[in-house]
Amino acid sequence: MGILEVKGVGKRFGGLQALGDVNLSVQENTVHAIIGPNGAGKSTLLNCLVGKLIPDTGSVTFDGNSVLGRKPHEINQMGISRVFQTPEIFGDLTVMENVLIPCFAKRDGAFRMHAYESIEQEPDIVNKAEQMLIDVNMIEKRHMTGSSLSRGDKRRLEMAMCLAQDPRLLLLDEPTAGMARADTNNTIDLLKQIKEERDITMAIIEHDMHVVFSLADRITVLAQGTPLVEDTPDNIKGHPKVKEAYLGETQEV
Amino acid sequence: MLGLNKTDSKFLLIVILLTLFTPFLMQPFAADSGLDQFNGGYPDLMQKVAIFGIFAVGFNILFGLTGYLSFGHAAFLGMGSYAAVWMFKLLTMNVIPAILLSMIVSGLLAVIIGYISLRRSGIYFSILTLAFAQMCYKMAYSVLTPITNGETGLQLSLSDPRILDGATESTSLPVTNIFGLAMNSSYKLEALNRVFTFNVGFYFCAVIAIIAFYIAIRLFRSPFGMMLRAVKSNQTRMNYMGLNTKPYTLAAFVISGMYAGLAGGLLAAMDPLAGADRMLWTASGEVVIMTILGGAGTLMGPVLGAGVIKYLENIFSKINESVLHSWFHWLPDGLEEVVVWVFARFTGEGWHLTLGLTFMLVVTFLPGGLVEGIKRLKKLTKRGGKPKDKLDAPDPEHTPTPSKHVV
Ligand SMILES: Nc1ncnc2c1ncn2[C@@H]1O[C@H](COP(=O)(O)OP(=O)(O)OP(=O)(O)O)[C@@H](O)[C@H]1O
Ligand SMILES: [Mg+2]
């Protein structure tokens, strides 16, 4: 039994069957990559996991509990954090504040007033946020506003925000898209390090094969809303079906 | 100082000093200088500035931080006034219990209105709050007449019980006081051809306003304030970070409702009357205009906006045609008539036209309000007053935009 079990999930948008019959089992403390051509339904699948979409059919369980029908904030409280394909950050707030918010928010998301103390009065939380920014290599940008960042920086910031939550399952939707090569490599190193240091499971969608093969323990190939194969990276590399459906037309491995 | 950082402390200190010396500052022109109509109508005007400053600062906690634009905050103002007058009638003429009750009652009303209105956001939220306020207004006129005294408005009467004050034989209505010190009493000082008045009511309002302002600063700088700004910035991210935004927005709504109630209570403390007019939508609109004119989301903006609007209202509505004639008597006859006619449209009864024009100009050219104007002036003087050169202008691509919400 994996920590995340997706069984028979289907989703239609009008006439378009975005997801057919998706079965996926993500094992605890592994990195599971989902690859596939544009429009394969990868983001749609993640949307079904975090409560943004409700699948038409099938079931999704996290750690034995169903996530279907729960609100996004409740699903997050179960331990699932997500980095979006289009970065979702607080554009009006500074980089530092962006990271401070998940550091202040309790894991259970409980409402706390905190209206009468200043942020500086919580050195532990400030230190944690600073450490998070150092980890993603953005500490020198801490006074910039979120909206003034480049796309790659926004994504690294969003990753820092999600990691600050100490999630059990981290969902990454194309985390390195829009990043410079050096930043991509930093991100790979960061995720590798996180994987070693923490009890964390990751599901990662990525077009950059270098990232996928550096990180993934298992790979699922999705095409036209259905999983084609699921295997270890080594086996996927040579798989004829994969080459035909995906790799052949986009990227050499 | 008091848990504030250096800049905020300095800022608070300036506000305190300005308030303390208001009686002097508001009398820049000697009585016989011919310009005395520009003197602030102290103490009435300054009381109003302090009270509406509180109202606007509270409104800004909701609108400036969370971005939820309420068009019904006058309901809390009116509610506060009614509650205070009832306290004067039933318990005592001391203003402390009155303003406490004002805050509690409008806070409760805010819980109900906020709970329902906050189910929607954007324009739907604004319309819902407007509808609730108009409902309160209509009810104050109709079904609630036994409590609100309908069109006449709630007033003191000699037969009121006033349990704590005990019976008086006096045949005139009692005045509001704070532990015996009457609100309308003042100490006059004559010097420099001016009369400086130190009014108890003004200083009471000023002290409350400073406390309210101090609390607002703390709130702006607190983690809670940061959460509220995050709500304005990106609710989706809040949700996907496990945070339910509703308690945060509701808390902000109730706090700002209590500020409005406090302002309403103070209005009644200065003049123990309460009418349904205070709940009318124009009053709700006024606080929106004050906040935006001064600069929404900034600390000083709402106070500045309240000050400017109340000052303009006071000064411009006092300038009638005879004043204008005395100004322009040196013009040739036909021309004088024309000039006076034009100016008369913008003064006296027509001062709203001036307000409208000012508002339009500020919103168009200074979207950040008067606070932004002050910031730009500061920048200009820092450059030695040099006019901005195109090459000097910061490149938006390569200069980080500083965070809004400061000062
Ligand atoms: N909300 C929606 N309404 C209608 N159609 C949608 C919606 N979301 C996605 N789709 C469609 O579903 C299909 C799958 O989209 P999805 O975003 O899941 O693809 P993807 O695998 O993430 O692609 P990419 O690599 O480009 O991100 C696409 O054809 C898309 O147009
Ligand atoms: Mg996608």
pLDDT digits (tens, 9 = 90+) for A124-182: 889 999 999 998 889 999 999 999 998 888 988 999 999 999 999 999 999 888 788 88
Please determine, for residue B346, whether its predicted confidence score (pLDDT) is greater than 70. Answer: yes
Instruction: Give the whole-number percent of chain B exceeding pLDDT 70.
Output: 87
The reported pLDDT for the residue numbered B407 is: 44
* Nearest atom (ligand 1) to Cα of A222: 21
> Which residue has its alpha carbon closest to ligand 1 atom 5?
A13
Tokens read off for B207: 């002290």
Mean pLDDT (whole number) for B74-89:
94
CB-CB contact of B249 with B61 (8 Å): no
| Parent domain of A183 | 4-246
Q: Where are the alpha helices (DSSP H) in A12-122?
A: 42-50, 72-77, 95-104
Whole-angstrom distance, CA of residue B287 vs CA of residue B293: 10
Return the residue of A nearest to B404 by Cα.
A92
Residue A206 Cα, ligand 1 centroid: separation in angstroms?
Answer: 15
| DSSP helix, strand, coil percent of chain B (3-state; round to 5) | 65, 5, 30
In a domain, A123, yes or no: yes
User: Where residue B394 falls among pLDDT bands split at 50, 70, 90?
Assistant: very low
Q: Which of A57-61, A64-68, B19-23, B255-259 has the lowest mean pLDDT?
A: B19-23
Number of domains into which chain A is organized? 1
Provide the residue count of chain B.
407
Between B58 and A239, the more confident residue is B58
The reported pLDDT for the residue numbered B305 is: 92
User: Where residue B397 falls among pLDDT bands split at 50, 70, 90?
Assistant: very low
Between B87 and B354, the more confident residue is B87
The reported pLDDT for the residue numbered A134 is: 92
Distance to chain B for A91, nearest Cα, Å: 6
Q: Which of A14-18, A97-101, B197-201 has the lowest mean pLDDT?
A: B197-201
| Torsions phi, psi for B188 (to 5 deg) | -105, 140
Please determine, for residue A248, whether its predicted confidence score (pLDDT) is greater than 80. Answer: no
Between B266 and B151, the more confident residue is B266
Nearest alpha-carbon partner for A203 in A11, A40, A2, A1? A2
Q: Which B positions 262-281 lie with beta carbon below 8 A of chain A?
A: none
Please determine, for residue B188, whether its predicted confidence score (pLDDT) is greater than 90. Answer: no
* Nearest atom (ligand 1) to Cα of A45: 18
Nearest alpha-carbon partner for B379 in B402, B358, B405? B402
The reported pLDDT for the residue numbered B165 is: 75
* Phi and psi based region of residue B400 (left: phi greater than 0; alpha: psi -120 to 50; beta: remaining): beta
Please determine, for residue B390, whether its predicted confidence score (pLDDT) is greater than 60. Answer: no
Interchain pair A100, B3: CB under 8 A:
no
> Which residue has its alpha carbon closest to ligand 1 atom 26?
A38
Distance to chain B for A69, nearest Cα, Å: 15
The reported pLDDT for the residue numbered B45 is: 83
Of B226, B243, B248, the CB nearest to A97: B226
Please determine, for residue A251, whether its predicted confidence score (pLDDT) is greater than 50. Answer: no
Q: How far from B325 is each of A68, A136, B137, B318, CA to CA, in Å?
A: 76, 71, 41, 14
For A163-175, letters b (16+ CB in 10 Å) and e give bbbebbbbbbbbb
User: Where residue B387 falls among pLDDT bands split at 50, 70, 90?
Assistant: very low
Q: Where are the alpha helices (DSSP H) in B43-152?
A: 44-60, 74-90, 95-117, 122-141, 145-148
Tokens read off for B213: 């302002």
Tokens read off for A20: 């057919």
Q: Which of A89-98, B15-24, B75-84 has the lowest mean pLDDT?
A: B15-24
Tokens read off for B221: 């700088």
Model ipTM over 0.90: no
Q: Which of B25-39, B211-225, B373-387 has the lowest mean pLDDT?
A: B25-39
| Cross-strand pairs, A32 | A203, A218
Any idea which ligand is nearest the CA of A41?
A: 1
CB atoms within 10 A of CB B95: 26
Interchain pair B224, A114: CB under 8 A:
yes
> Which residue has its alpha carbon closest to ligand 1 atom 16?
A41
CB-CB contact of A129 with A96 (8 Å): yes
Please determine, for residue B64, whether its predicted confidence score (pLDDT) is greater than 90. Answer: yes
Of A108, A117, A144, the CB nearest to B222: A117
In a domain, A253, yes or no: no
> Which residue has its alpha carbon closest to ligand 1 atom 12?
A18
Residue A4 Cα, ligand 1 centroid: separation in angstroms?
Answer: 22
**Those residues with Cβ within 8 angstroms of residue A110's Cβ, 6 or more apart along the chain or in another chain:** none
Q: Which B positions 192-231 lie with beta carbon below 8 A of chain A?
A: 218-219, 221-227, 229-230
Any idea which ligand is nearest the CA of A37?
A: 1
Tokens read off for A97: 């504040």
Strands B194-199 and B273-274 come out as: unpaired
Interchain pair B224, A89: CB under 8 A:
no
Mean pLDDT (whole number) for A237-247:
69
The reported pLDDT for the residue numbered A159 is: 92
Residue A178 Cα, ligand 1 centroid: separation in angstroms?
Answer: 19
Interchain pair A100, B226: CB under 8 A:
yes
Please determine, for residue B279, whether its predicted confidence score (pLDDT) is greater than 70. Answer: yes
* Nearest atom (ligand 1) to Cα of A37: 25
The reported pLDDT for the residue numbered B393 is: 42
Between B59 and B341, the more confident residue is B59
Q: Which residues of A touch B237 (CB under 8 A)?
A: 88-90, 161
Across chain B, mean pLDDT equals 84
CB-CB contact of B8 with B221 (8 Å): yes
Q: How far from B30 is each of A27, B24, B37, B188, B319, CA to CA, in Å?
A: 84, 11, 10, 15, 18
Q: What distance separates the 2 farthest-apart alpha carbons in chain B?
A: 78
Whole-angstrom distance, CA of residue B369 vs CA of residue B356: 14
Interchain pair A76, B239: CB under 8 A:
yes
**SS3 (DSSP) at A169:** strand
The reported pLDDT for the residue numbered A62 is: 94
Instruction: Give the whole-number percent of chain B exceeding pLDDT 90.
Output: 40
Any idea which ligand is nearest the CA of A36?
A: 1
Q: Where are the alpha helices (DSSP H) in B222-280?
A: 223-233, 235-239, 245-270
Whole-angstrom distance, CA of residue A216 vs CA of residue B20: 67
Of B3, B241, B400, the CB nearest to A101: B241
Interchain pair A143, B400: CB under 8 A:
yes
Please give the span between the terminal C-alpha atoms of chain B, in angstroms, as a whole number: 17
Q: Which of A116-125, B101-110, B137-146, B368-377 has the lowest mean pLDDT?
A: A116-125
Whole-angstrom distance, CA of residue A170 vs CA of residue A165: 10
Interchain pair A118, B403: CB under 8 A:
no
User: Where residue A218 falls among pLDDT bands split at 50, 70, 90?
Assistant: very high
Any idea which ligand is nearest the CA of A39?
A: 1
CB-CB contact of B78 with B132 (8 Å): no
What are the pocket residues of ligand 1 if the criterion is a CB atom closer than 6 Å to any ligand atom? A 13, 16, 18, 36, 38-44, 85
Identify from A100, A101, A103, A144 which residue to disrupt to test chain B contact, counting B C-beta atoms within 10 A and taking the largest count. Answer: A101
Q: How far from B333 is each of A99, A251, B107, CA to CA, in Å?
A: 70, 88, 58
User: Where residue A249 falls among pLDDT bands split at 50, 70, 90?
Assistant: low
The reported pLDDT for the residue numbered A205 is: 93
Between B319 and A189, the more confident residue is A189
User: Where residue B62 falls among pLDDT bands split at 50, 70, 90?
Assistant: very high
Please determine, for residue A238, whether its predicted confidence score (pLDDT) is greater than 80. Answer: no
The predicted-structure confidence for A23-57, as pLDDT tens digits, reads as follows 999 999 999 999 988 888 999 999 999 989 999 99
Helices B369-382 and B351-365: crossing angle in degrees, nearest 10, is 60
> Which residue has its alpha carbon closest to ligand 1 atom 3?
A13
In a domain, A66, yes or no: yes
Please determine, for residue B400, whether its predicted confidence score (pLDDT) is greater than 50. Answer: no
Instruction: Give the whole-number percent of chain A exceeding pLDDT 90.
Output: 54
The reported pLDDT for the residue numbered A253 is: 42
Residue whose structure tokens are 């070693």 = A196
Q: Which residues of A touch B401 (CB under 8 A)?
A: 144-145, 147-148
The predicted-structure confidence for B245-263, as pLDDT tens digits, reads as follows 999 999 999 999 999 999 9
Residue whose structure tokens are 């604004």 = B126
Please determine, for residue B399, whether its predicted confidence score (pLDDT) is greater than 50. Answer: no
> Which residue has its alpha carbon closest to ligand 1 atom 22?
A43
Q: Chain A contact for B248, CB < 8 A?
A: yes
The reported pLDDT for the residue numbered B392 is: 41
Determine the residue type at A224. Answer: Q
Nearest alpha-carbon partner for B276 in B188, B154, B167, B402? B154
In a domain, A251, yes or no: no
The reported pLDDT for the residue numbered B331 is: 80
Tokens read off for B340: 């006076």
Q: How many beta-carbon pairs under 8 angstroms link A with B?
A: 125
Of B223, B239, B402, the CB nearest to A72: B239
Of A93, A105, A117, the CB nearest to B243: A105
Give domain limits for chain B: 6-299
CATH number for the domain including A218? 3.40.50.300
Please determine, for residue B160, whether its predicted confidence score (pLDDT) is greater than 90. Answer: no
User: Where residue B343 falls among pLDDT bands split at 50, 70, 90?
Assistant: confident
Provide the Cα torsion B276, B281, B282, B286; round to 10°. 110
Q: Chain A contact for B236, CB < 8 A?
A: yes
In a domain, A177, yes or no: yes
Return the residue of A nearest to B255 by Cα.
A115
Q: Chain A contact for B232, CB < 8 A?
A: yes
Residue A44 Cα, ligand 1 centroid: separation in angstroms?
Answer: 6
The reported pLDDT for the residue numbered A231 is: 85
